[in-house]
Amino acid sequence: MLRIDGLEVAASRRARGRGLLGRDGIAGALWLPGVRSVHTVGMRFALDVAWLAGDGRVLRVRTLRPGRVSAWVPRSVGVLEAEAGAFARWGLEVGAVVDVDRVNGDAGGGGRDRHRRA
């Protein structure tokens, strides 16, 4: 199970909508519970994006350059974002399991807001 150091949580709707906009980078990663699709419009840097299942298993991984919109991943309960290249350094790939319980206490955000977009 992968543990991400410096993991931040976008717990509110407003925080999920803002995501990493306005930042020049992130040392760790940002967890967006309930999000199934993201965009990098207005971003200053490229992102690694991972969609997670309720058990923390990585369903899909993509790198998005600024100005892009991701696909919608229906089985996802949330999205993990980091600076491009971070996932390769951490060994985060499809099928890996990320420890999201320590952040949410409910194995991935439960998907209550699963139709929201960041």
Which tens digits make up the pLDDT trace of 39-81? 999 889 999 999 999 999 999 999 999 999 999 999 999 999 9
pLDDT of residue 100: 66
Residue 54 lies in a domain: yes
Structural domain range at position 100: 7-104
Question: How many domains is the chain partitioned into structurally?
Answer: 1
pLDDT (tens digit per residue) in 77-104: 999 999 999 999 999 999 999 986 555 5
Residue 76: CATH number of its domain:
2.60.120.1140
- Give the model's pLDDT for residue 104: 53
Cα–Cα separations (whole angstroms), residue 19 to 1, 13, 55, 73, 106: 25, 10, 23, 18, 21
Phi and psi dihedrals of 52, rounded to 5? -115, 145
